[in-house]
Amino acid sequence: MAAKNLHKTKTADLDVLDKKYIWHPFTQMKDYCNSSPLIIEQGQGSYLYDIAGNRYLDGVSSLWVTVHGHRKKKIDEAIIRQVKKISHSTLLGLSNIPAIKLAEQLLAITPRNLRKVFYSDNGSTAVEIALKIAFQFWQQKSAASKKKKKFISLTHAYHGDTIGSVSVGGIDLFHQVYKPLLFKTLTAPSPYCYRCPFKQSVAQCGLACLDALEKILKKHNHEIAALVIEPLVQGAAGMIVFPKGYLKACRELCSQYHILMIADEVAVGFGRTGKMFACEHEKVKPDLMALAKGITGGTLPLAATLATEEIYRAFLGEAQDQKTFYHGHTYTGNPVACAAALANLEVFEEENVLKTLQQKIKLLARRLKPFSGLKHVGDIRQCGFMVGIELVQNIRTKKPFALKKKIGHRVILEARRRGVIIRPLGDVIVLMPPLSISAKQLNTLLDVVFESIHIVTEKHNN
Ligand SMILES: Cc1ncc(COP(=O)(O)O)c(C=O)c1O
């Protein structure tokens, strides 16, 4: 059967066709099909444009990926140049120019101990690969290390949606149903200070959550392959920002108890926290690092898992030794995506992005202060250009709103009516604007979010 000529599809029909044919990710389709979907046609800078020509400020960087704004000329041109040479050739046994150059660049800007790059195409696979590498590393390192088969991760962690990355995840809403499919993982308490698992306050706790982690490591280190952790901020959990020193202490514990540290920089990497990588804030050198999202500046799917020389060497051997890492995806190291990533890094350098970002981070912090005067804002968490505003029914008791009230969702719809796209994580309102957003646009974003929270939680019946 011939495909319909899509160019002739009327924009009004797209709404119907979308609901008829697409199963959207992380979306209750019953609600979606009863709503009017927003269909995006174009982007420019910090803005998205829908099929009716309406303009929206992209307050979440199109799911945390758009670094320098939409249609960044330099990246677009690099993509076009590469397409004119070749769009894809396999990295299984062959190589390509952008993949080689990008690997060199990535290793130049990440912690020095990381020496090899393994490509894939999304954050989940970058983590999945890190898990498999860590597991196989210990299997091949020595007879004594073969028992190291388990992983440890934090409560509330999110590392992606493949079975391995879900196994080390800790968000029940997403992960509970798959429990029978998952491998068993040890879990340490997240340093979620607003809802401290030890009922302590930050000032007096002395990082009790670290003691809990150490207790597990002391008992189980002989069977643990690696700690998997989102450095500095647990993003999907609702932007849980670690207390100072926690990440570094985790690194020290990993070294002390001979387990690998996997830093999942998928959300926090590429400038989000104010430095290129979150690990830099506490001079942490992980053994494996997962990168994705902002790697191509929000243009094409690409991911990378970086490893140390020691880990890489454990995979070398003769064919009969069977030490090869038997993993790879069809589009691994795609040259167009790698060319986009190279251009993304060039923009960082040429436009001094991280330097200009510092003023905007301060502006963001200043503008967030008045939010604490809103009656239902329980906690405001900021790390660089990542923000989570936790809305609660009762500020004193921290009692959450009832799920059925869909407060977070209602806030984002209110913002949408005012020309701003944001996405909640439950009742945590997330702000992740492009790093390139102007001060004026940032002020608009905060004005609209303030007003939307106020209207939904105070003016309307909640
Ligand atoms: C920390 C972290 N790791 C992994 C992932 C999964 O990335 P992807 O959605 O590209 O598979 C995400 C996605 O939000 C993430 O925040």
pLDDT value, residue 207: 84
| Same-domain pairing of 121 and 229 | yes
Task: Give the residue from 165, 167, 155, 163 showing the smallest Cα distance to 127.
Answer: 165
pLDDT, tens digit, for every residue of 53-105? 999 999 999 999 999 999 999 999 999 999 999 999 999 999 999 999 999 99
Pocket lining: 273 vs ligand 1, CB cutoff 6 Å: no
Q: Are 216 and 144 in contact (CB under 8 A)?
A: no
What is the 12 CA–ligand 1 centroid distance (Å)? 33
Write phi, then psi, for 28 (nearest 5 degrees): -75, 105
My answer on whether 23 and 97 are in the same domain is no
* pLDDT tens digits along 190-226: 999 999 888 888 777 878 899 999 999 999 999 999 9
Q: Is 1 within the bounds of a domain?
A: no
Q: How far is the C-alpha of 358 from the C-alpha of 372, rounded, in Å?
A: 22
Of 320, 350, 380, the residue at which a domain comes to its end is 350
The CATH number given to whatever domain includes residue 329 is: 3.40.640.10
For ligand 1, say whether the CB of 268 is within 6 Å of any of its atoms.
no
The whole-number pLDDT of residue 200 equals: 83
Q: What's the whole-model pTM score?
A: 0.96
Quick check: 364 and 382 in contact, CB under 8 A? yes
Nearest CA to ligand 1 atom 2: 159
Q: Decide: 292 in ligand 1 pocket, CB within 6 A.
A: yes
Same domain assignment for residues 212 and 284: yes
Claim to verify: residue 79 and residue 207 sit in the same structural domain: yes
User: Is ligand 1 within 6 A of the CB of residue 235?
Assistant: yes
Looking at the structure of the chain, the number of domains it has is 2
State the pairing for strand pair 288-291/55-58.
unpaired
Work out whether the CA dihedral 314, 318, 321, 323 comes out positive or negative.
positive
Among 328, 312, 343, residue whose Cα is nearest residue 90: 328
Please state, in angstroms and rounded to a whole number, the distance separating the CA atoms of residues 122 and 107: 19
- Report mean pLDDT in 10-residue bins for the chain, 462 residues: 54 91 95 94 98 97 98 98 98 97 98 98 98 98 96 97 96 88 96 89 82 97 98 97 96 98 98 98 98 98 98 96 95 98 98 98 98 97 98 96 94 97 97 98 98 92 57
Distance 351 CA to ligand 1 centre (A): 27
CATH number at residue 362: 3.90.1150.10
Same domain for 405 and 290, yes or no, is no
User: Rounded to an integer, what distance in angstroms lies between the CA atom of residue 373 and that of residue 414?
Assistant: 19
How far apart are the C-alpha atoms of 125 and 33, rounded to whole Å?
30
Looking at the DSSP assignment, which residues form a beta bridge with residue 263? 229, 289
Percent of the chain with pLDDT over 70: 97
Which of 128, 229, 266 for a ligand 1 pocket mutation test, highest count of atoms within 8 Å of Cβ? Answer: 266
- Full strand arrangement of the beta sheet holding 420-421: 40-44, 47-50, 55-58, 420-421
Domain stop point among 319, 350, 381: 350
Residue-number span of the structural domain to which 442 is assigned: 11-68+353-459
3-state secondary structure string, the chain? CCCCCHHHCCHHHHHHHHHHHCCCCCCCHHHHHCCCCCCEEEEEECEEEECCCCEEEECCHHHHCCCCCECCHHHHHHHHHHHHHCCCCCCCCCCCHHHHHHHHHHHHHCCCCEEEEEEECCHHHHHHHHHHHHHHHHHHHCCHHHHCCEEEEECCCCCCCCHHHHHCCCCHHHHHHHHHHCCCCEEECCCCHHHCCCCCCHHHHCCHHHHHHHHHHHHHHHHEEEEEECCCEECCCCCEECCCCHHHHHHHHHHHCCCEEEEECCCCCCCCCCCCCHHHHHCCCCCEEEECHHHHCCCCCCEEEEEEHHHHHCCCCCHHHCCCCCCCCCCCCCHHHHHHHHHHHHHHHHCCHHHHHHHHHHHHHHHHHHHHHCCCEEEEEEECCEEEEEECCECCCCECCCHHHCHHHHHHHHHHHCCEECEEECCEEEECCCCCCCHHHHHHHHHHHHHHHHHHHHHCCC
Give the nearest ligand 1 atom to 64 CA: 14
Pair (121, 90) in one structural domain: yes
* Whole-number pLDDT of residue 2: 46
Are 138 and 272 in a shared domain?
A: yes
Residues 148 and 247 both lie in one domain: yes
Whether the CB of 58 sits within 6 Å of ligand 1: no
Question: 291 and 394: one domain?
Answer: no
